[in-house]
Amino acid sequence: MRITMVGTGYVGLVSGTCFAEFGFDVTCVDLDAGKVDRLKRGEVPIYEPGLEELLQRQIEGKRISFTTDLKTAVRGADAVFIAVGTPPRSSDGHADLSQAYQAAREIAEAMEGYTVVVTKSTVPVGTGREIEKIIRDVRPDAEFDVVSNPEFLREGAAINDFMRPDRVVVGLSSDRAKKVMAEIYRPLFLNETPIIFTTREASEIIKYAANAFLATKITFINEIANLCEKAGADVQDVARAIGMDGRIGKKFLHAGPGYGGSCFPKDTLALVQTGEVLGAPQRIVEMVVQVNAERQRDMAERIIAACGGDVQGKRIGILGVAFKPNTDDVREAPALTIIPVLQEAGAIVAAFDPVAMEQAQKHLKDVVWCQDAYEVARDCDAVAIVTEWNEFRALDLTRIGDSMRAKRLLDMRNIYKPEELEGTGFLYMSIGRPDVQPAPRDKIRTVSSA
């Protein structure tokens, strides 16, 4: 079985490496020659725990190779996976499918013999049909099938998610393609992973419905957290108790600064767009998108309020800029909204992230980048924990507090317990829990009321 992976981002590289680990002969293609050169040397251009070791094993075993030459990579492949980016179109939030369509045209020109073209990128319902049409237009006589196989891996836990997924979803209508896909996923099937064969349309919708549901769950608990703050309740108790209900489940019930990342923001937007185009408005998801955007800005307002309503000339420390721990991905990260709002209000922002600073520097200006949390805290008027990296969970708070100008800690991930901060002199604000020292929340100017 020869597999070609078009696009070597988070999804293409992890999938390609894992398919090679299953024993298949994998060729990965990318337009980015610099990335391909690094990959050929066994260097992983992204931060993903365990990936470099796994990749090096495949290179040593000669099961994986990298190229910029799509035509050679596709020629003779049994299955060609499209794993290119599908970012939101800036005009309307719809998924920008130009990379996927371009890849389809190039694949069509190069395919030889029966080929299964598999869309692994997250694409709106109907895209598989369009890709089939593109390929048919270029190569009217070619033997091929277009299959949908969305990916559910999470950055930071990508290898485990790929190797031990909750389920694999495959959308197709041909028995011939089904045989190829069943062979590709046979190693997982032997591990008793459920493999759902369905139509291409259902498969495309499944990916968006899953992400939109999870984004809704996060947004729901964030609003419950607001209620807890007003009522003097602890959202962690609420989340724990409702999560014990098997119908609800405990995951994705952590109140925080709003979801970010490369998937939820763009996939919720794209689902809203698809709903509009097809005349089936996704009103719940529309509201989730709006509430989440407000929440990220509201986090900056909380910091300003904690500083007495004015941060002009004040130094604010930010711990964590990645959208979540164990990744260097900063796409749509809450920190990327919070930091510019603070800067606009006149604050000097100092920040540290264990791995994502290089990525964040491409999006943020005038940030004082530091070596660690302690350097960030020095002379600060407030420090905010925005990403729950493990190394922020056991900070020496005495050392942090002693070096600050004013002892204010905003824990946007609830990684400390209010009791731990009692008597330390810190003004401690977390999410959906009682403050330690009454914090001036009345000064919070939420975006909606601004």
For 428, list phi and psi in degrees, rounded to 5: -115, 115
Sign of the four-CA dihedral 334, 336, 337, 343: positive
And the tokens for 37?
């050169």
Neighbours of 197 (CB within 10 A): 16
| Euclidean distance between CA atoms 42 and 362, whole angstroms | 25
Nearer to ligand NAD by Cβ, of 8 and 337: the residue is 8
| Binding-residue total with ligand NAD (CB under 6 A) | 28
Amino acid at 61: G
Interacting residue with ligand NAD among 11, 108, 319, 351 (CB under 6 A): 11
Q: By CB under 6 A, is residue 317 in contact with ligand NAD?
A: no
Using the contact rule CB under 6 A, the part of the chain among 24-32, 276-284, 305-313, 392-400 near ligand NAD is 24-32
Q: By CB under 6 A, is residue 263 in contact with ligand NAD?
A: yes
* Binders of ligand NAD in range 132-191 (CB under 6 A): 151, 153, 155
Q: By CB under 6 A, is residue 8 in contact with ligand NAD?
A: yes
Alpha-carbon distance values, 443 to 266, 271, 298, 303, 449 (Å): 32, 35, 12, 10, 12
Q: By CB under 6 A, is residue 12 in contact with ligand NAD?
A: yes
Set 28, 263, 370, 380: catalytic member: 263
Smallest separation, CB 432 to ligand NAD (Å): 27
Quickly list H helices, 62-199.
70-74, 98-110, 127-138, 158-163, 175-184, 186-190
Q: By CB under 6 A, is residue 262 in contact with ligand NAD?
A: yes
Q: By CB under 6 A, is residue 307 in contact with ligand NAD?
A: no
Interacting residue with ligand NAD among 3, 7, 116, 145 (CB under 6 A): 7
Smallest separation, CB 86 to ligand NAD (Å): 4
**Whether the Cβ atoms of residue 120 and residue 114 lie closer than 8 Å to each other:** no
178: left (phi over 0), alpha (psi -120 to 50) or beta: alpha
Q: By CB under 6 A, is residue 270 in contact with ligand NAD?
A: no
The yes-or-no answer on residue 370 being catalytic is no
Nearer to ligand NAD by Cβ, of 271 and 427: the residue is 271
Report, in angstroms and rounded to the nearest whole number, the Rg of the chain calculated over CA atoms: 24
Neighbours of 167 (CB within 10 A): 12
**Whether the Cβ atoms of residue 195 and residue 228 lie closer than 8 Å to each other:** no
Q: By CB under 6 A, is residue 84 in contact with ligand NAD?
A: yes
Nearer to ligand NAD by Cβ, of 32 and 234: the residue is 32
Q: By CB under 6 A, is residue 77 in contact with ligand NAD?
A: no
Q: Which chain residues interact with ligand NAD by CB under 6 A?
A: 6-12, 29-32, 35, 70, 83-86, 99, 102-103, 106, 121-122, 151, 153, 155, 262-263
Q: Which residues are catalytic?
A: 263
